[in-house]
């Protein structure tokens, strides 16, 4: 029985593409998937988020926000992955931080049997560092990289200080991601 879903997460608008590949249990909720995405990508879970699958919105309901929209937001704690990710739905959109609008595409690559030697969820691959939070979305991120990579730029020092002294756009540590996933999901 195929109870594990292999999902590729791609941060739209990035070139080269910033991506992660994860393995999650089909019985997990979209709330748990959100946590996996936050850890795997390197986000800090500081902003609101929302999933969209076949026009259905899934997220954290807050009545004062949801009155403006025509379609209802379904509570992510009540929706399992297997109830949405069927043979017909192999793609889900995930937006993190409605200000910076980090748009992710989640594609179901395949369904796998459980491997007793693996602790799920798990990240199996990825490329490049996640953009820093609150840097202004995709345009702000590429402007930040341009400034940081230009040693003669007048704002470089100030930008490096804002980043905490350093930012390596190529950094991605698979082992660190999986260690964080294990701590988050398997510590009591």
148-186 pLDDT per residue, tens: 999 999 999 999 999 998 889 999 999 999 999 999 999
Indicate whether 94 and 10 sit together in one domain. Answer: yes
* pTM, 2 dp: 0.92
The count of domains in the chain is: 2
Indicate whether 9 and 95 sit together in one domain. Answer: yes
Domain containing residue 103: 2-128+172-186
Indicate whether 122 and 158 sit together in one domain. Answer: no
Indicate whether 166 and 177 sit together in one domain. Answer: no
pLDDT at 42 over 90: yes
Residue with tokens 């950094």: 171
pLDDT band at 34 (very low <50, low <70, confident <90, very high): very high
Indicate whether 101 and 39 sit together in one domain. Answer: yes
Indicate whether 11 and 57 sit together in one domain. Answer: yes
Check which CATH number belongs to the domain holding 102 and give it: 3.10.290.30
Indicate whether 77 and 144 sit together in one domain. Answer: no
How long a stretch of residues is the chain?
A: 188
Which pLDDT does position 90 carry in this prediction?
87
Q: What mean pLDDT comes out for the span 20-42?
A: 97
pLDDT at 89 over 70: no
Residue with tokens 């930008």: 159
Per residue in 49-88, pLDDT tens? 999 998 899 999 876 554 555 568 899 999 999 999 876 6
Q: Judging by beta carbons within 10 Å of its beta carbon (0-12, 13-18, 19+), is residue 174 exposed, middle or buried?
A: middle
Check if the beta carbon of residue 28 is closer than 8 Å to that of residue 81.
yes
Indicate whether 96 and 148 sit together in one domain. Answer: no
pLDDT at 110 over 60: yes
Indicate whether 95 and 159 sit together in one domain. Answer: no
């Amino acid at each position: 029985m195929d109870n594990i879903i292999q999902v590729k997460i791609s941060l739209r608008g990035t070139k080269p593409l910033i991506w992660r590949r994860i393995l999650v249990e089909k019985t997990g909720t979209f709330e748990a998937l959100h946590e996996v995405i936050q850890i795997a990508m390197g986000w800090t879970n500081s902003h609101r988020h929302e999933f969209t699958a076949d026009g259905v919105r899934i997220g954290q309901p807050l009545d004062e926000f949801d009155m403006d929209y025509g379609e209802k937001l379904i509570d992510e704690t009540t929706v399992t992955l297997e109830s949405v990710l069927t043979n017909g739905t192999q793609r889900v959109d995930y937006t993190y931080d409605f200000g910076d609008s980090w748009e992710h595409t989640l594609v179901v690559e395949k369904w796998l049997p459980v491997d007793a030697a693996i602790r799920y969820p798990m990240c199996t691959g990825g490329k490049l560092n996640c953009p820093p939070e609150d840097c202004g979305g995709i345009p702000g991120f590429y402007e930040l990289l341009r400034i940081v990579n230009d040693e003669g730029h007048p704002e470089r020092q100030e930008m490096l200080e804002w980043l905490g002294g350093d930012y390596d756009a190529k950094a991605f540590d698979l082992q660190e991601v999986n260690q964080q996933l294990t701590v988050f999901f398997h510590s009591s």
